[in-house]
């Protein structure tokens, strides 16, 4: 007989830690939305006949972010690099899922093109 045990923890961060957590979550959301806007901009440019590279993979998105972060987010050093990496990784996975869905290589219903992330999640209008 196998016994499973679970633990439930509640976070009770100090106000300082709570601000830091909110800052990191906001940084993740910012970089996701920034990358999505960049991809949309480049796709539109490609539709107009321009020859531009569309960053689609995580390494390409990271390269673009590293070149632009000082100008688009001068506050970027305030947060861990992992917050930004997490947002870019999420964007790369979502772009890959959309691409596979569009080509019929993904099981399940077709996925619509991505939308910006909002504070509070998808339920928050």
Per-residue model confidence as pLDDT tens digits over 65-90: 999 999 999 999 999 999 999 999 99
Whether residue 58 is predicted with pLDDT greater than 80 in this model: the reply is yes
Q: What is the mean pLDDT of residues 118-123?
A: 70
Q: How far is it, in rounded angstroms, from Cα 37 to Cα 50? A: 17
Residue 83 CB: number of other CB atoms within 10 A? 19
Q: How far is it, in rounded angstroms, from Cα 43 to Cα 53? A: 9
Of 89, 83, 93, which is closest to residue 25 (Cα–Cα)? 83
First to last CA, the chain: 48
Containing 35, the helix (H) or strand (E) segment is helix 15-47
pLDDT at 112: 80
Of 121, 35, 20, which is closest to residue 84 (Cα–Cα)? 35
pLDDT at 124: 44
């Amino acid at each position: 007989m196998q016994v499973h045990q679970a633990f439930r923890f509640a976070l009770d961060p100090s106000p300082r830690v709570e601000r830091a957590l909110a800052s990191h979550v906001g940084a993740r959301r910012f970089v996701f939305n920034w990358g999505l806007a960049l991809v949309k901009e480049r796709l539109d440019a490609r539709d107009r006949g321009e020859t531009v590279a569309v960053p689609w993979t995580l390494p390409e998105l990271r390269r673009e972010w590293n070149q632009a972060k000082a100008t688009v987010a001068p506050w970027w050093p305030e947060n861990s690099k992992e917050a930004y990496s997490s947002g870019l990784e999420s964007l790369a996975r979502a772009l890959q899922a959309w691409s596979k869905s569009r080509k019929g290589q993904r099981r399940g219903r077709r996925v619509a093109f991505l939308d910006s992330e909002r504070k509070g999640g998808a339920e928050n209008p």
